[in-house]
Structure 1
């Protein structure tokens, strides 16, 4: 195993409008890269991993159900198996840590979450019960339940990536992996949907220049497509 290390937070100059309230947030968003250059001699430590997950859990979610889980793999032999499940993407091993972001296609947190709505004074009990029934009913449709799993977990994954970048780490998301194989390998329950696999670790050096992005004029549509 590699020795643990805390990565230093990197910064970069970036122009922002004068009225931007959180320029650091824009800097992180605009400078984040899906990197593949990791330091193979160093791993992130437990404190850093837990901080990344904590930041990920601050993502928005439908009804605040927070239908996500994070499965971390750091054992060298198991990372080798994940490389095979990810069709030979070697940077998983080089990163030293792989995290599978998982979404739930069942509203398993509904009782707890709507109790918390009531306790916080955000809903009365009658409204909370009616809203919970509405939320739970939406999951009755198999496709909609899976859509909720993927969409909510994807929001959490983006938070994870931004948190890693803010901490000076390199992280890259992958959706090209054996979904069923990963679920079996990580012993996921039946209601858990593998959404995105993230390799994360200390930065190993500069990355290539960012490839061109589509212009706003090309992708922004007003009123209709």
Structure 2
């Protein structure tokens, strides 16, 4: 879809925006199914997409995410099967599984970095680390931690692809257990989101209506 086909409400930028191109990227990004099956992304582009994804915010900067990229044709066929036959994955040429940690396994390194940066003293860093590790030992909290943080990284990935003229489509419709087994995830890692990414095959259907701000914005209370 070209900018000419997008409504003014989606492309106009408010007077107080410091980075208008970022706002345009947010407002023009689309998920779609029209990929170019004869083109692929190269290794450098893949690495840049992940670099941008990994700049997402996370709880205490713990960065509890991993990314598993599948590009081999035969393995992509299995990913399509595990995603209930979503053939646009094959046409995209790259499938990226966003994976979440369910335990605070990066805590030692990260809180050392907090201390080294002068953001916490040694006692505060040790206390906060211990509290964080204990909190995520709870199964429910650990699972929430492993989904919420990597979901932010997934959105960065989608925007990074769009900024590069690529198409990226997120999916939660897949066999999570089967995907975890196929991609050999450790037991403490969980599949969060599958993203098909690749060169665009052209225009998509007109964007479906979005709920209006007046409908979704609640002030002070629901």
TM (norm. structure 2) is: 0.95
Q: Please, which moves more after superposition, 91-100 or 136-145?
A: 136-145
Written as runs of structure 1 = structure 2, the 5 A alignment for 1:72-83 is: 72-83=69-80
Q: Does 1:202 align with 2:199?
A: yes
Decide which of 103, 108, 123 is 1:106's aligned counterpart. Answer: 103
**For residues 168 and 35 of structure 1, what CA distance do their matches in structure 2 show?**
13
RMSD value, Cα? 1.2
- What's the offset of the Cα at 1:165? 0.3
Decide which of 81, 86, 92 is 2:83's aligned counterpart. Answer: 86
**For residues 134 and 161 of structure 1, what CA distance do their matches in structure 2 show?**
33
Q: Which residue in the other structure is 1:124 paired with?
A: 121
**For residues 99 and 178 of structure 1, what CA distance do their matches in structure 2 show?**
15
**For residues 134 and 206 of structure 2, what CA distance do their matches in structure 1 show?**
47
Q: Which residue in the other structure is 2:139 paired with?
A: 142
Q: Is the 8 A contact 1:169 1:203 kept in 2?
A: yes
Q: Which runs of 5+ in 1 are unaligned?
A: 1-9
Q: Please, which moves more after superposition, 132-141 or 166-175?
A: 132-141
- What's the offset of the Cα at 1:18? 2.1
Q: Which residue in the other structure is 1:7 paired with?
A: none
Q: Does 1:38 align with 2:35?
A: yes
Q: Which residue in the other structure is 1:23 paired with?
A: 20
Q: Which residue in the other structure is 1:158 paired with?
A: 155
**For residues 113 and 211 of structure 2, what CA distance do their matches in structure 1 show?**
42
Decide which of 48, 51, 74 is 2:48's aligned counterpart. Answer: 51
Q: Which residue in the other structure is 2:7 paired with?
A: none
- 1:119-176 CA distances to partner (integer Å, 9 max, x unpaired)? 1111111110111111111112101000000000100000000000000000100000
- What's the offset of the Cα at 1:11? 8.0
TM (norm. structure 1) is: 0.94
- 1:64-108 CA distances to partner (integer Å, 9 max, x unpaired)? 100000000000000000000000000000000000000000111
**For residues 2 and 129 of structure 2, what CA distance do their matches in structure 1 show?**
43
Counterpart secondary structure, 2:156: helix
Counterpart secondary structure, 1:88: coil
Equivalent residues, number: 216
> Stretches of 4+ moved more than 3 A in 1?
10-13
Q: Which residue in the other structure is 1:4 paired with?
A: none
